[in-house]
A and B are shown apart, each in its own frame.
Chain A
Amino acid sequence: MYKKQILSYCCALAIYTASAQQTDSLPGLKIDRTLLLKEVTIQPEKGISQSYQDQQRSNLQVLTDKILESTPGINMIRRGNFAMEPTIRSLNNGQITMTIDGMRIFGACTDRMDPISSYVEPNNLESLSFSVNPGGASYGSSIGGGINFKLKSPSFTSEKKVSGSAGLGFESNGQAYQSLAGIEYSAPNFAIQANGIFRRSGNYTAGNVEEISFSQYRKWNGNVSALFKTSEHTYLKTDYIQDEGFDIGYPALTMDVSFAKAKIGALSYVYFHPEKNIYWETKAYYNYINHAMDDTKRPKETVPMHMDMPGTSRTMGAYSALTYQPTLKHHIKARLDGFNNQLSAEMTMYPDDGAAMFMYTLPDLARTDIGLNLSDDISLNDQFNLQIGGRFDYAHDYIFSEVGKEQLSGMFVGDLSRNRFITNLNLELGYTLSHAWKFSAEVARAARSSTLQEGYSFYIYNRLDGYDYIGNPDLKQETSTNVNLSTRFHSARFVAEVSGFGYFFKNYITGSLLQGYSVMTIGANGVKHYVSLPSAKLVGAELALKWSPLDNLILTSLNTYARGSDNQGNGLPMIAPLKTVNAILYNFKQVSLQAESISYAAQNNVNTAIYGETSTPSSTILNLSVSKEFKFKGSPVLRANAGVDNLLDREYVQHLDIMKIARPGRNFLFRMTALF
Chain B
Amino acid sequence: MAGTLQRQPTVTPARRLAWRAGAVVTALAITTLFLALSGRDPRLLADLVVRSTVGSRFGLEDLALFLTPLLLTGAAVTVTGRIGVWNIGAEGQFYAGAIGATAIGLFLPGPSWLLLPLMAASGIACGMGWILVPALARAYAGVNEIITTLLLNFVAGLLTTYLAVGPWHDRVTGALASTGRLPVRIPEIWGVVHWGFPIALAIVLGLAWLTTRTRWGYQITIGGANEQAARYAGIPVRARILGVMLLSGGLAALAGMFEVAGTVHRLQGGLANNFGYFGIVVAVLARGSCLNVLPAALLMAFILNAGIVLQTQQLTSSAVLAITGLVLFMIAIADELAHYRPVTIRPVTPRPATSAEARP
Is chain B a partner of chain A in the same complex? Answer: no
Give the interface of A toward B (CB within 8 A).
Answer: none
